[in-house]
Amino acid sequence: MTHMIDIGAAAGIATQVGDLLGTFAFAISGALMAVRKNFDIVGIAVLACATAVGGGIIRDLVVGVTPTAFVQLRYPAVALLAALLIFLWHPPRRLTHRPLDVADAIGLGVFCVTGTVTAYTHGLGAPSAAALGVVTAVGGGIIRDILAGVRPSILHPEQEIYAVPAMLGAVITALLLHVGHSTVITGTLASLAVVVLRVLALRFHWRAPLARPTSRRPKD
Q: What is the pLDDT of residues 102-152, one digit of tens each?
A: 999 999 999 999 999 999 999 999 999 999 999 999 999 999 999 999 999
Q: How confident is the model at residue 216 (pLDDT cuts 50, 70, 90)?
A: low
- Residue range 48-68, pLDDT digits in tens: 999 999 999 999 999 999 999
DSSP string, 65-82: S--HHHH-THHHHHHHHH
Is the pLDDT confidence value at 93 over 60?
yes
2-10 average pLDDT score? 46
Per-residue pLDDT, 156: 85
19-23, 180-184, 210-214: least confident range: 210-214
Q: How confident is the model at residue 4 (pLDDT cuts 50, 70, 90)?
A: very low
The alpha carbon of 168 is separated from its chain's Cα centroid by a whole number of angstroms, namely: 13
Q: How confident is the model at residue 5 (pLDDT cuts 50, 70, 90)?
A: very low
Per-residue pLDDT, 16: 87
The region that residue 79 occupies, defined by phi over 0 for left and psi between -120 and 50 for alpha, beta otherwise, is: alpha
